[in-house]
Structure 1
Amino acid sequence: MCGITGWVAFDRDLTVEGPVLDAMTATQLCRGPDAGGVHLERHAALGHRRLAVIDIEGGTQPMTVEHDGRVLAALTYSGEVYNHRELRAELEAAGHRFRTRSDTEVVLHAYLEWGERLAERLNGMFAFAVWDTRTEELLLVRDRMGVKPLYYHLTRHGVVFGSEAKAVLAHPSVRPVVDLDGLREMFAVTKSPGRTIYRGVAEVRPGHVVRIRREGVSVRHYWALEAREHTHDLEATVATVRALLDDIVHRQLEADVPLCSLLSGGLDSSAVTALAARALRAAGAGPVRSFAVDFTGQSEHFRADEVRSTPDGPFAQLLARHVGADHSVIELDASAVTDPAERAAVLRARDVPGGFGDMDVSLLLLFRGVREHSTVALSGESADELFGGYRWFHDPRLVAAEDFPWAGALSQLAGAGAGPREQLLDQGLVAKLDVHEYRRARYREALAEVPHLPSADPLERRMREISYLNLTRFVCILLDRKDRMSMANGLEVRVPFCDHRLVQYVFNTPWWMKSFDGREKSLLRAAVRDLLPEEVAQRPKAPYPVVQDPHYPALLRAELAALADDGTAPVLGLLDRRALTDALAPDTDPQSVRLGVDLALDLNAWLTEYRVELEL
């Protein structure tokens, strides 16, 4: 896994612009701590930072293919292609010759053989740019589910691009301007495909190819969820899901560096860990290494709430013993999670404020601990969106709402009593933003995309919509979070549940099969039940843990009080003075303003560090 960046300009000679490209590439150092490189041509400059995972010696980038001493194409690539061995054999049969064992070289030769149609042939998570020297055009490609990020800014004579917005913002022609629509996107609790909060900076949409030529820019989607008749009965459906998972996990275990799994003790991570343990054991490769996060004293003093009925620790330990995993716990305390330096690291990783507060910081610290032992980790991310694990799949009120179903439920993730994120913002600004209407507009756009079968009954039709919304507007929030927190530590996280074959199959599975036993994720549970202890298989859904230490919200509020006393903090112009005074009052429960304080602190750090130009 790596960080990529580049600049195409048809109006100038970029061979003399090395310092600009070096500055852009340097922003991706955390994504690629092992090596770096640049490729400069007259109208194209490509940069790369490498995290070496496959073919440690041979996979250096940017990578080129030459013929008779002339460069045909150059590639800067981030990701993993899990079917690279099959593609290599096909390309070799067509006459291609390879110098390395890397999947990077397979992607480059695949472009020479199939052009932009190579995207349809790749199975994996990836974001890459190919510069075709012969035709002087750039191709930007992103994987089907958007696991790996890719940003770009169109200029008058070309494009600037990178794995993260910070790489694009490092170019001297790009200013960090955020207008009302940028703030709306920040606060809307959804991720609109293609949009970012920075004016003029776009994302390559998942499953899309962007081609930049002298004549202009074209965008093509090469993959999207389709409506297909599901012809399997329940038994065959369970068997198909299991067969797919066996193949997916087996493919994703390939690495020339230490590999592990992330294990919370929930159904999703337990399934991935058990499948990995079984595959490694069959290959004679030894036990799977697994890691979990916990907070000091939390297992002993756990307090159940509406969304977390049990602590993770005991279930993770149970699963680890059951499959013979080499299991470790990364234990954190409240002081580590509130450390301003760690909060600043989260902001630098995300480029955007207002994420998931302590859940982001603890994930960053978990991945830092994992990285001390492993370079690659398997994750259970995306199973809830795919198999219907969240409460909003099962609450009739949320299912029927004319809004994204998670919009009214997410505040509970911060714990009982947490108020809304925007509670400290200036009320005039809140009214001007009208985030609710913005989100409704994005909701209507998403609904218009949903593929339907003409024979579906009303319930099946609505649940297909709910599934589509989760797979295209919600899972990308969590995938982006996981990518940023992991790559900030030079850790590659793979997501087996995002394999497009599984996603397409389960998307078209009738809702009654996904909940056939009256539970969430019935289909997944049935597919992996033989691998799990009964207690783990039957465990109710529990979201990622939050800090329950009462000192945590109090520490945050103390930091906000110091900021308010300073009087020069840029965020104060966005806050409601009365709400700020109330939040700092001695009789205010710190937990009730926890999300609002989190957001205010993040906004202030972002405005300061990124020198954001607000145009409101």
Structure 2
Amino acid sequence: MCGIFGIVTNGAAVNPLLVSQLTNILKHRGPDDEGYLALNSKTGTVYDLIGDDSVIEGRHISSFNEPVNMFLGHRRLAILDLSPAAHQPMSYLNRYLIYNGEIYNYIELRNDLLAAGYEFTSNSDSEVILASYDRWKDHCIDKFNGMWAFAIYDRTANRLFCSRDRFGVKPFYYATGKFGFAFASEIKALLAHPDINRTVNEAAVYDYLATGNEGQFLTEIEELPPAHSLTIDLQSGLKLKLRKYYTLSVNPALNASEGVTADSAALKVRELILNSVALRLRSDVTVGTCLSGGIDSTSIVCAIDSFIKKENMLQVGIRQKTFTASYKDAAIDESRWAKIVTSQTNTQWHQTYPSADELLGDLDNLIYTQDIPFRSTSIYAQYRVMKLAHEHGVKVLLDGQGADELFAGYPMFYGAFFSNMLNEGNLRRFAAELAHMGNAPLSAASVLMYMLKSSLMKSIPNSLKNIFTGGLNNLLSEKFKNAHKGRLSALLNGKYSGNLNTMLMQYMLKENLQCLLKYEDRNSMRFSIESRVPFADDTPLIEYVFSLPGAFKIHNGWSKYVFRRAVSGLVPEAIQWRKDKVAFNTPEKLWIKEIYRYMRQSIEHETAGYFKPAVFGELMNSGGAWRAINLSMWLSALKKPSAIR
């Protein structure tokens, strides 16, 4: 929806031109409007200011020279209520808001607040947040179903209240130092502050190179964790207080005690999915859909198609717009599956065809867009899909991100599932499931390997754990490895579990999905598109699925079993029971070969301290080749005097 930036000091005056500059680094996140709030927290004096792109009139920030110690900056992507009434920073009863995201149940909350006597001057969800804060204070976030990162300055209490959504869909980065406290939607806005250093966190680099894990790459820039709020009492300095406001629980016993069957669970999951998609269609601008050809995105496309047939949906149009990344290599191309879906739903289908030459041309922009190193070139395929949607006038895209983590769609989850049965002594069920592995996307031998990881990872000697990194750890220099002894064991121990629901939660809240959501936010907002993820942030759906036993998620060899059952009759049967779904892949080996040919000297120079001498030929044929390339480009970009473009 938007880009936010804020800064507060202990009393030192903040430079308004610097605030304008840093806020406008986020212009791609919000090209439709611009606004600022300046205030003196000692006196309570507040100033509303505008910028070059503001849709309202007022005092321009370039002419402002009052001594203030706090600024809030906002760049708006107009999605709900396109009028100036939804301009931010927004004020309501002496509270001021800057906000990025969507509260999908804002209509229901607004009606509750109207009944309680609250009044509104806009049709935005932003105003609903402020009214909710007035009524429920910090606990207002318990009422929200959606994605958000926001900051509220409460003038009545002289405090700053910040919050990030439960599942980490929307970003919130911050830094503290002699300059005070600063926060932003993207790292690049903070990096451009002259007093924030670009010191690389070498431990995070090790994690990334050894296993692909992504963490805090810069020592001075932190991330507000999902499901956390942050408050600063401005009357008593700049002490940050973090609070975890939500915990997702795993409780399969709950539904077992209520006699829930696979049939009734499938019906409930279907109801919740349809409701989640319907809520995420609330928009005053054009909505489209990502389509890969797998069951996740297909279910969203088909759900929307079922809605269109029942009612006129102006935001979708007569024909839904869908967007796919396609390739000439049939081994990774999903076009034939996507075509089955588009034929059934009669969508306006748009395709993009990423190539090695185009990746080379876009590489600098992609590195800049993502802010930190990322795992694979599949991120470029997504980048191109977002660009394609932007070219076709779409401002909101629905995507199937999160379904694999929610319903157990990845092969490694089979290891936890089978380990579960062994731990419970359920040998009959174990044998029955093993007999149905023909329905699974992996062999019985692969299942056994994943079982070993799930059951024994913590018991395997550290010296042997390198085999689970694809051998990449052997290519790292001894000095670099020795500096981070013990990290590999801790990283791998955290990835595997002998309990399926526990492992799903790990991948959803701490591992895989958290990275994917960040990639998607940056890629979509780079092209001024709001990405919405019905499987990744709908609290009723997620809580219900995590209350179901693992046997409902993997059954008779089928991954995502309850999900497949839930969309019966909604999606084409060929998609419903697919077992050969390719991940969001690219011809990565071919692309890496081309990139390395053009950039060999730079890659080897930037990463020399991390790898053993003369291993780059071997490295480029390993699973970690892209990580080395990406890291080298990121380190090179980091040395530039300014991140501003």
TM-score band by shorter chain is: 0.7 to 0.9
Question: Is 1:227 paired with 2:250?
Answer: yes
Question: Is 1:431 paired with 2:482?
Answer: yes
Aligned to 1:81: 103
What does 1:84-233 align with in structure 2 at a 5 Å threshold?
84-155=106-177, 158-187=180-209, 189=211, 196-214=216-234, 215=236, 216-228=239-251, 229-230=254-255, 231=258, 232-233=260-261
CA distance change for structure 1 residues 39 and 325 in 2, over 3 Å: closer, same or farther? same
Alpha-carbon distance in structure 2 between the residues aligned to 1:294 and 1:315: 11
Q: Does the 8 Å contact 1:390/1:541 carry over to 2?
A: no
Alpha-carbon distance in structure 1 between the residues aligned to 2:588 and 2:23: 40
The structural deviation recorded for 1:166 is 1.6
Alpha-carbon distance in structure 1 between the residues aligned to 2:627 and 2:270: 41
Question: Is 1:503 paired with 2:542?
Answer: yes
Alpha-carbon distance in structure 1 between the residues aligned to 2:115 and 2:10: 36
The TM-score with structure 2 as length reference comes to 0.81
Q: Describe the SS at the equivalent of 1:497.
A: coil
Alpha-carbon distance in structure 2 between the residues aligned to 1:190 and 1:475: 13
Alpha-carbon distance in structure 1 between the residues aligned to 2:518 and 2:589: 29
Aligned to 2:9: 9
Alpha-carbon distance in structure 2 between the residues aligned to 1:190 and 1:337: 21
Q: Deviations over 1:2-34 (max 9, x none)?
A: 1111012232244xx212211221221121122
What does 1:404-423 align with in structure 2 at a 5 Å threshold?
none
Alpha-carbon distance in structure 2 between the residues aligned to 1:549 and 1:397: 25
One-letter identity of the residue aligned with 2:594: L
One-letter identity of the residue aligned with 1:532: V
Alpha-carbon distance in structure 2 between the residues aligned to 1:160 and 1:127: 14
Alpha-carbon distance in structure 2 between the residues aligned to 1:609 and 1:178: 12
Q: Does the 8 Å contact 1:389/1:541 carry over to 2?
A: no
Instruction: Choose which of 433, 453, 459 in structure 2 pairs with 1:401.
Output: 453
CA distance change for structure 1 residues 470 and 199 in 2, over 3 Å: closer, same or farther? same
Q: Does the 8 Å contact 1:424/1:596 carry over to 2?
A: no
Q: Does the 8 Å contact 1:387/1:524 carry over to 2?
A: yes
Aligned to 2:323: 291
Q: Describe the SS at the equivalent of 2:397.
A: strand
Q: Describe the SS at the equivalent of 1:336.
A: helix
CA distance change for structure 1 residues 488 and 321 in 2, over 3 Å: closer, same or farther? same
CA distance change for structure 1 residues 154 and 4 in 2, over 3 Å: closer, same or farther? same
Alpha-carbon distance in structure 2 between the residues aligned to 1:607 and 1:185: 16
Q: Deviations over 1:427-471 (max 9, x none)?
A: 42133234xx32543566799xx9xxxxxxxx7xx1122112111
Aligned to 2:56: none
Instruction: Choose which of 37, 51, 55 in structure 1 pairs with 2:81.
Output: 55
Alpha-carbon distance in structure 1 between the residues aligned to 2:526 and 2:456: 30
CA distance change for structure 1 residues 555 and 242 in 2, over 3 Å: closer, same or farther? same
Question: Is 1:40 paired with 2:38?
Answer: yes
Alpha-carbon distance in structure 1 between the residues aligned to 2:507 and 2:133: 32
CA distance change for structure 1 residues 404 and 556 in 2, over 3 Å: closer, same or farther? farther
The structural deviation recorded for 1:425 is 4.4
Aligned to 1:413: none
One-letter identity of the residue aligned with 1:472: L
Question: Is 1:479 paired with 2:523?
Answer: no
One-letter identity of the residue aligned with 1:277: D
Q: Describe the SS at the equivalent of 1:518.
A: coil
Q: Describe the SS at the equivalent of 1:239.
A: helix
Q: Deviations over 1:112-131 (max 9, x none)?
A: 22111111011101111111
Instruction: Choose which of 343, 359, 369 in structure 1 pairs with 2:378.
Output: 359
Question: Is 1:274 paired with 2:302?
Answer: yes
Instruction: Choose which of 370, 389, 411 in structure 2 pairs with 1:350.
Output: 370
CA distance change for structure 1 residues 430 and 532 in 2, over 3 Å: closer, same or farther? same
Alpha-carbon distance in structure 2 between the residues aligned to 1:84 and 1:381: 23
Alpha-carbon distance in structure 2 between the residues aligned to 1:175 and 1:87: 42
The structural deviation recorded for 1:400 is 4.4
Alpha-carbon distance in structure 2 between the residues aligned to 1:486 and 1:26: 17
Number of equivalenced pairs? 556
Aligned to 2:443: none
* Alignment gaps of 5+ in structure 2: 41-68, 415-446, 458-468
The structural deviation recorded for 1:487 is 1.1
Alpha-carbon distance in structure 2 between the residues aligned to 1:577 and 1:331: 37
The structural deviation recorded for 1:85 is 0.5
The structural deviation recorded for 1:289 is 1.3
Q: Does the 8 Å contact 2:285/2:396 carry over to 1?
A: yes
Q: Does the 8 Å contact 2:165/2:227 carry over to 1?
A: yes
One-letter identity of the residue aligned with 1:265: G
Alpha-carbon distance in structure 2 between the residues aligned to 1:66 and 1:532: 45
Q: Does the 8 Å contact 1:33/1:50 carry over to 2?
A: yes
Alpha-carbon distance in structure 1 between the residues aligned to 2:640 and 2:302: 46
Q: Does the 8 Å contact 1:393/1:399 carry over to 2?
A: no
Q: Does the 8 Å contact 2:74/2:89 carry over to 1?
A: no
Aligned to 1:371: 390
RMSD (Å), alpha carbons: 2.7
The TM-score with structure 1 as length reference comes to 0.84
Q: Describe the SS at the equivalent of 1:177.
A: coil
Aligned to 2:527: 489
